[in-house]
């Protein structure tokens, strides 16, 4: 493998590396310090749970439509309610949802992710004056 004669330099001050400092001049480093570890921190930690959440998504897509959940009116509140209903069923001793045949815990996890996704999207979306006036109504 041919090595570059250039040295690796971060593009901005917020980039840093967790690699051995002696490797900085070689380019055999990655400026990924401070970035979320999605593979190690999500998929490698929770492979069974992520698979079950995927099963819930597939079940929901077959029952409704792929990505249909995104357009549900009052989605944050309704997915919060559904999430808590699944938690309550599990708490009452019912481990498996009779409609899907999947664990209530998996439905709860899916609901938490859907709810969080909608909350984050809402925070990213700029609020218009019309929306503010409509809320004051």
Interatomic CA distance for residues 51 and 118, integer angstroms? 21
Look at residue 1 in the predicted model and tell me its pLDDT: 41
Joined tokens for residue 32: 């990924």
- Helix axis angle, 47-63 to 104-124, nearest 10°: 80
Summarised one tens digit per residue, pLDDT across range 100-121 is 999 999 999 999 999 999 999 9
pTM: 0.74
Q: What are 43-71's pLDDT values in tens digits?
A: 999 999 999 999 999 999 999 999 999 99
* Phi, psi of 47, deg, nearest 5: -65, -40
Residue 3: its pLDDT value, please?
Answer: 43
């Amino acid at each position: 493998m041919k090595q570059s004669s250039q040295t690796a330099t971060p593009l901005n001050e917020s980039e840093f590396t967790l690699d051995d400092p002696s490797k900085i001049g070689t380019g055999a480093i990655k400026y990924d310090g401070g970035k979320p570890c999605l593979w190690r921190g999500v998929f490698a930690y929770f492979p069974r749970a992520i698979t079950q959440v995927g099963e819930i998504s597939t079940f929901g897509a077959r029952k409704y439509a792929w990505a249909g959940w995104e357009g549900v009116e009052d989605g944050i509140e309704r997915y919060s309610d559904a999430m808590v209903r699944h938690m309550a069923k599990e708490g009452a001793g019912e481990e498996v949802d009779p409609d899907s045949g999947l664990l209530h815990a998996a439905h709860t996890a899916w609901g938490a992710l859907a709810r969080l996704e909608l909350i984050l999207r809402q925070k990213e979306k700029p609020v218009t004056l019309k929306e503010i006036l409509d809320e004051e109504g």
